[in-house]
Amino acid sequence: MTPVPDTDLAVAASGLVKTFDDFRAVDGIDLEVRRGEVFGVLGPNGAGKTTTLKMLATLLPMDGGEASIFGVDVRRHPHMIRQLVGVTGQYASVDENLTGSENLWLFGRLQGLSSARAKVIAKDLLERFGLAEARDKQIKTFSGGMRRRLDLAASLISQPPLIFLDEPTTGLDPRTRGQMWETIRELIRDGSTVLLTTQYLDEADQLADRIAVIDRGIKVAEGTPDELKTSVGSSTLQLRMSDPDETVGAADVVRRVLGEAPVLTPEAGGMNAALTDANQAADVLIALRQSGLSIASATVQKPTLDEVFMAITGHSAEDETHEPQMEASR
């Protein structure tokens, strides 16, 4: 593993700026990622996530601000930075006719490993990422999930202390997404520091210790997943009573417990109640049972990314004026 200078901050960046012509894609972002944590950068399409990562990884020049990785200045020591950071999103440049193990071996050689060492590490990584059977299969036959895992494996060849994951699960089906989350959790257990971007609150929630929300090139909020969710208010309890005739009585019980009346939904017997704390759902359910009212279904809905965005920025995450121009930037 690359020797890591002694500092508690894996990333320290202040006032990062990137402009494309007149457009400020990143407009003064500060980021601090602590050693050993998973830090999530959450934002909609075109928010500036990939551009931020690319500047930190020396793949794009910075137009303003300061940044260091484990205390090493990004502008002044790009070669050292490249040894400290593993970046996903590299497989695209690799020959599709190579097999999984050839691909990783090649990456190892490009990173300066001996042929024998590259072989050993490639084998280990393929096993670790559930790709052992795919070792001798050509990459062009890989599924989307396998490609992401191979991509992640390639970024780990040089065993970097900091890993950048740019939207690791966008476009994956739910099962493959879950597997990818497991893989990422394993990395974390191994002590890696991870800087991850995502468009999904649930993903940031599942994986990140702390999150920065960015919107149109600006950081609009930062905190733990819980702090963010609390700041936007809360979750919603969706209830449906078995007997629609009991709806009014049930709404009354809900109002008594929560101090605020639920909103009745068009569906027979249905209502939504805002919770300041998801644990209040239990209080409501107990009170309904004690009142002899029977529930057909009850779900607690966490705030969605869109609700977080609405609350923090006053506009919807969908409502972006700048369309992303670089699909390949993921």
Ligand X SMILES: Nc1ncnc2c1ncn2[C@@H]1O[C@H](COP(=O)(O)OP(=O)(O)OP(=O)(O)O)[C@@H](O)[C@H]1O
DSSP characters for 123-175? HHHHHHTT-GGGTTSBGGG--HHHHHHHHHHHHHTT--SEEEEESTTTT--HH
Residue 159 to residues 3, 27, 52, 179, Cα–Cα distance (Å)? 10, 32, 22, 21
Q: Site for ligand X (CB under 6 A): which residue of 25, 67, 152, 201?
A: 25
Q: Which of the stretches 38-46, 75-83, 100-108, 124-132 binds ligand X when contact is defined by CB under 6 A?
A: 38-46
Q: Which of the stretches 49-57, 69-77, 120-128, 291-299 binds Mg ion when contact is defined by CB under 5 A?
A: 49-57
- Report, in Å, the least distance between residue 190 CB and ligand X: 27
- Cβ–Cβ under 8 Å, residues 20 and 46: no
Determine, following the binding rule CB under 6 A, whether residue 47 of this chain makes contact with ligand X.
yes
Site residues (CB under 6 A) for ligand X, limited to 165-224: 167, 199
Determine, following the binding rule CB under 6 A, whether residue 20 of this chain makes contact with ligand X.
yes
How many residues touch ligand X under the rule CB under 6 A: the total is 18
Cα 92 from chain centre: 21
48 binds, among ligand X, Mg ion, none (CB under 5 to 8 A by kind): ligand X
CA-CA distance, 26 to 240, in Å (whole number)?
A: 45
Determine, following the binding rule CB under 6 A, whether residue 322 of this chain makes contact with ligand X.
yes
Q: Site for Mg ion (CB under 5 A): which residue of 16, 50, 198, 246?
A: 50
Determine, following the binding rule CB under 5 A, whether residue 51 of this chain makes contact with Mg ion.
no
Specify the residue, 19 or 159, whose C-beta has the smaller distance to ligand X: 19
- Cβ–Cβ under 8 Å, residues 250 and 207: no
Determine, following the binding rule CB under 6 A, whether residue 326 of this chain makes contact with ligand X.
yes
Q: Site for ligand X (CB under 6 A): which residue of 50, 83, 155, 235?
A: 50
Encoding tokens for residue 325?
């121009």
Other Cβ atoms less than 10 A from the Cβ of 124: the count is 13
CA-CA distance, 226 to 330, in Å (whole number)?
A: 27
Cα 171 from chain centre: 13
DSSP characters for 56-113? HTTSS--SEEEEEETTEETTT-HHHHHHHEEES--GGGS-TTSBHHHHHHHHHHHTT-
Site residues (CB under 6 A) for ligand X, limited to 74-133: none
Specify the residue, 115 or 321, whose C-beta has the smaller distance to ligand X: 321
Q: Which residue is nearest to Mg ion (CB)?
A: 50
Show the site string, 4-43: x = touches Mg ion by CB under 5 A, - = not: ----------------------------------------
Determine, following the binding rule CB under 5 A, whether residue 155 of this chain makes contact with Mg ion.
no
Tell me which residues touch Mg ion (CB under 5 A). Answer: 49-50, 329
Tell me which residues touch ligand X (CB under 6 A). Answer: 20, 25, 43, 45-51, 167, 199, 322, 324-326, 329-330
